[in-house]
Structure 1
Amino acid sequence: MLNKSKFIIPALLAMGIVHLSYAESVPYSDAIDCAKNGNVICQTAVGLAYQEGNGIKQDYVKAKEWYIKAVNQGEKYAQFQLGVLYSNGFGVKQDYAKAVDLWIKAANQGQRDAQYNLGAVYYNGYGVNPNKSKAKEWFTKACQSGHDRACQTLNEYF
């Protein structure tokens, strides 16, 4: 049997939305009700829980459905995670161009993981023409946003 009372914890923590003491008290039914009522944070957290299989069965299609609801409200972490689904072909047809589009939206809102991923796709040419200058620009933004791996990448490759 799945531990549905705890599935939301890792999702909320990964998003940096709540501290452990609060997240531990969020039952499954409350999280789903919150998401169904249109709360963008809850929608994103439910999507992430389905994506990672945290306390519930992993289901990329359900993750995508919840992310789309949050993306339609402009939520940057949902934009980033939906981009991850598209870049990897998890629950969707792999589409780097869609991933890049979503990551640009998230990155322009300061989402550092999206900024880092954009640096990587421009460096390697996934879904875009390779462009070392744009790669450096996005890695720099991610580094300035506190993304340690982006800082390491800048020191190693630029």
Structure 2
Amino acid sequence: MGLLEQLRGLHGRVKRSKYKPWQVYLLAAAIVICASLYFDIVLLTDALRSLEGAASGLQWIVILAIQGVLIGFVAEYLYEQGDGYAKVGSNEFDSKDKTLAARVGIMTGVSAVITLAVPSAVRSVAEYLVIQTVGAVIVLGILLVHESSSDWNPETEWPALAAGVLLATAPTVL
């Protein structure tokens, strides 16, 4: 059996699995990246550095993405989703107008703090800023989307969660 047929068979098994193909492929890529860093496989680490260099123009986008996810967590914590008033301090406001002004004010302050703190924090810990931040955004984004879900089963998305954790942490740890 040729290589192409083997790859098609592998892809067929991935599609038939209970996981989304992109999650499985992302996990496979994360494992290859981690293995290349751990075993210092020069060809792959050089390719990884080249990929990071080529993607360096996207640093501002991935930093905005991580900031957006963090702001999303704060908003999720502070506010009801839907038609309700704000959870925090809802008894303090006489009207929806005052609640809106308070929400805008609070989230502007939160956004300012996150905007000032996140870029320098990410740059100080990430050796591969784009790759590691994308990993963190994947994990945190999945957690944010399911934060209010009472019936979410993390096992259905473990490949993406594991891949995100590996991408976010392994380059710094290894």
Normalised by the size of structure 1, how large is the TM-score? 0.26
The structure with the largest alpha-carbon Rg is 2
More relative contact order, 1 or 2 (CA 8 Å, 6+ apart):
2
Higher-helix-fraction structure: 2
Normalised by the size of structure 2, how large is the TM-score? 0.24
